[in-house]
């Protein structure tokens, strides 16, 4: 009982430190910039417009409510990529702390992820505006925090793994960017995978596919969450999270001397 | 009560390849089977114990292993051989102003540094006015730190670090070269009084310094490190005069 209490206290302390670090990093990112947080929206919005144009004009697709389909996929993918990309170098950029103070290094990985949650909230607000514009029932957006919770766990698991690898491989960041580009095309963000094809069967192994398709089904197409799908997604998330955390915990004592 | 116990603690750093080499270069090196492996023994077979209230000084030339030893005790590094046991809340203090963000205001920096030093936000809030009072920077609380003079930065970082550590009330305090000039004469006097308060506050202190007067003034016992090994230990006066005559 006493041990559980100590564990909970430690988790609370780490979360509180992560939150303070995330707020500081978020403030620093916007410091001195004229448009501040609007920069975060400008980037996905401009990319959204390009893809919308390509999707509408060139492929003449038949996806229902395509702009919403595209935007939701895009902001979820962007969130994943932004967090994991910066997780590859999060340990080396905080090496000053890790080498000279007794601090929980998990806090840096968490803080890195939290700071992008702030900008993701703004993107979701824009998405809600789009939903109103296209006449979609906003009520189903209330399911998003639940999906996001599991999505976030999954991203944290990947981040912990990447942060650990990043200590040993200095150019992991470049490798991850290539993988990120590959994942962008492998995940149905701006297209729909035709069912009963080999690509469809392969996508079952892409976790990003599950998160985006469940979110779209529920939020845009107003289908109530299917128990089987949600169960699968939550299991993937929990496994990936604990696997990543395990790798990190196993290696963290060597970080101070390797960095 | 024994607070720190080291038994044959050693630290060997392996310098197998340069960190700045890319993955491809490393992979080729591994595949070619020509992995150069170099080892550097930073700390070798160190054993000692420290009881509550004891103040131990560490002396030795640059590269003697003082900082590595403190980092081993702090748990920042893992020992390669031997064991280290510590009992109680431990604080390792190496530099003032760690993590100070010049683009944030003094207020934001105090809260951030507090969190980094392991305090919760409400605990920092309790200490906030003391920190500001001691630093004497009342009029600049909402000014960004990059607009501060270096003396002001020192005042801020000393005050924040001191009050946060005092709040934690550590049982073991490891100090790595944190003495020296901390601003103008007036502040320096105030700061050294506070430092004395911290050292004599009843915690087990291990103090590494090149300032031998400080060591003489505070320590009950001195350990002299040379090339990672204990070269001498005992009475401060005696060890220091031997150290100086080397």
Please spell the DSSP secondary structure of A145-161, one letter per residue. Answer: HHHHHHHHHHHHHHHHH
The DSSP element (H or E) to which B234 belongs, if any, is strand B229-234
Inter-CA distances, B6 with B87, B153, B171, Å: 12, 37, 17
Find chain A residues with C-beta within 8 A of B21's C-beta. 170
Series of mean pLDDT values for 10-residue runs along chain B (246 residues): 91 71 70 70 92 91 91 92 92 82 92 90 92 93 92 90 90 83 77 87 90 89 92 89 86
Rounded to whole angstroms, the Cα distance separating A183 from A62 reads: 23
With an 8 Å Cβ cutoff, the interface of chain A facing chain B consists of 13, 16-17, 20-21, 24, 27-28, 31-32, 96-103, 169-172, 175, 253-254, 256-258
The pLDDT of residue B72: 94
Closest CB to B22 among A31, A99, A170: A170
The single residue listed with the structure tokens 């690898």 is: A165
pLDDT of residue B83: 93
Can you tell me the ipTM of this complex?
0.85
Which residue of chain B comes nearest to A32, CA vs CA? B103
Q: How many CA atoms lie within 13 A of B100 on its CB side?
A: 24
**Min Cα separation B99/chain A (Å):** 7
How confident is the prediction for chain A on average, in pLDDT? 89
CA distances to B58, B61, B86, B227, B231 from B65, rounded to whole Å, are 10, 9, 19, 7, 12
Residue B80 pLDDT: 92
For B43, B52, B74, B80, B82, the CA distances from B87, given in Å and listed in that order, are 22, 10, 11, 21, 17
- The pLDDT assigned to A200 comes to 84
Encode pLDDT of A160-172 as tens digits. 999 999 998 888 9
Return the axis-axis angle of helices A144-168 and A106-133, rounded to nearest 10°. 140
Is residue B142 within 8 angstroms of chain A, CB to CB? no
Q: Would you say B72 and B45 are in contact if contact means Cβ atoms under 8 Å apart?
A: no
Torsion sign, CA atoms B59, B61, B64, B67:
positive
Q: Which of B77, B98, B117 comes nearest A256 by C-beta? A: B77
Chosen for mutation from A95, A170, A259 (greatest number of chain B CBs closer than 10 Å) is A170
Question: Which residue in A16, A97, A256 is closest to B98 by CB distance?
Answer: A97
Residue A60: which pLDDT band, with cuts at 50, 70 and 90?
Answer: low
Q: Are A96 and A86 in contact (CB under 8 A)?
A: no
Residue B116 near residue A22 (C-beta atoms within 8 A): no
Cβ contact B95:B135 at 8 Å? no
In chain B, which residue's Cα lies nearest the Cα of A9? B120
CA distance B100 to B116: 10
- Among the partner residues B19, B111, B116, nearest to A101 by beta-carbon distance: B116
Residue A194 has pLDDT above 70, yes or no: yes
Q: Closest chain B residue to A100 measured between Cα atoms?
A: B94
Within 13 Å, how many C-alpha atoms sit on residue A10's CB side? Answer: 10
- pLDDT bin (cut points 50, 70, 90) of residue A62 is confident
Per-residue pLDDT tens for A15-48? 999 999 999 888 888 777 777 777 777 888 888 8
Cα distances (angstroms) measured from residue A33 to each of A37, A212, A244, B222: 9, 32, 35, 53
- In this predicted structure, the answer to whether residue A139 has a pLDDT above a threshold of 70 is yes
Question: Do A24 and B104 lie within an 8 Å CB cutoff?
Answer: yes
Q: Which of residues 47-86 of B touch A (CB under 8 A)?
A: 71, 74-78
């Amino acid at each position: 009982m006493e041990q559980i209490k100590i564990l909970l206290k430690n988790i609370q302390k780490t979360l509180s430190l992560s939150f303070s670090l995330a707020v500081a990093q978020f403030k620093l990112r916007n410091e001195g910039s004229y448009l501040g947080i609007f920069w975060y929206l400008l980037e996905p919005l401009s990319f959204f417009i390009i893809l919308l144009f390509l999707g509408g004009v060139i492929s003449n697709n038949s996806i229902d409510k395509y702009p919403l389909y595209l935007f939701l996929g895009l902001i979820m993918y962007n969130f994943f990529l932004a967090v994991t990309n910066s997780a590859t170098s999060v340990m080396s950029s905080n090496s000053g702390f890790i080498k000279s103070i007794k601090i929980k290094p998990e806090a840096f990985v968490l803080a890195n992820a939290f700071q992008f949650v702030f900008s993701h909230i703004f993107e979701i607000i824009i998405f809600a505006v789009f939903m109103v514009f296209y006449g979609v029932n906003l009520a189903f957006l209330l399911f998003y925090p639940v999906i996001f919770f599991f999505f976030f766990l999954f991203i944290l698991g990947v981040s912990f793994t990447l942060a650990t690898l990043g200590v040993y491989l200095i150019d992991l960041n470049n490798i991850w960017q290539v993988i990120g580009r590959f994942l962008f095309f492998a995940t149905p963000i701006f297209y729909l995978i035709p069912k009963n094809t080999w690509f469809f069967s392969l996508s079952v192994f892409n976790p990003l596919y599950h998160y985006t398709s469940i979110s779209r089904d529920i939020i845009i197409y107003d289908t109530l969450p299917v128990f089987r799908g949600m169960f699968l997604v939550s299991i993937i998330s929990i496994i990936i999270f604990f696997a990543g955390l395990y790798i990190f915990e196993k290696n963290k004592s060597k970080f101070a001397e390797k960095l | 009560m024994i607070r720190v116990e080291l038994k044959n603690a050693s630290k060997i750093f392996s310098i197998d390849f340069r960190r700045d080499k890319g993955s491809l270069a490393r992979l080729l090196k591994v595949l070619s089977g020509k992995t150069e492996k170099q080892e550097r023994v930073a700390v070798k077979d160190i054993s000692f114990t420290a009881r509550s209230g004891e103040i131990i000084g560490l002396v030795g030339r640059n590269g003697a292993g003082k900082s590595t030893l403190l980092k081993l005790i702090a748990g920042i590094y893992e020992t390669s051989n031997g064991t280290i046991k510590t009992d109680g809340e431990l604080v390792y203090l190496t530099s003032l102003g760690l993590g100070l963000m010049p683009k944030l205001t003094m207020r934001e920096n105090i809260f951030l540094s507090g969190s980094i030093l392991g305090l919760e936000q409400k605990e920092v809030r309790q200490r906030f006015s003391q920190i500001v009072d001691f630093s004497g920077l009342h009029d600049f609380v909402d000014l960004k730190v990059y607009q501060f003079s270096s003396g002001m930065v020192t005042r801020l970082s000393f005050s924040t670090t001191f009050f946060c550590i005092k709040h934690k009330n550590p049982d073991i305090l490891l100090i790595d070269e944190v003495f020296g000039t901390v601003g103008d004469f007036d502040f320096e006097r105030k700061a050294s009084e506070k430092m004395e308060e911290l050292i004599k506050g009843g915690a087990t202190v291990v103090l590494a310094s090149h300032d031998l007067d400080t060591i003489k003034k505070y320590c009950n016992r001195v350990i002299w490190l040379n090339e990672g090994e204990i070269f001498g230990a005992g009475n401060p006066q005696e060890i220091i005069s031997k150290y100086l005559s080397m």
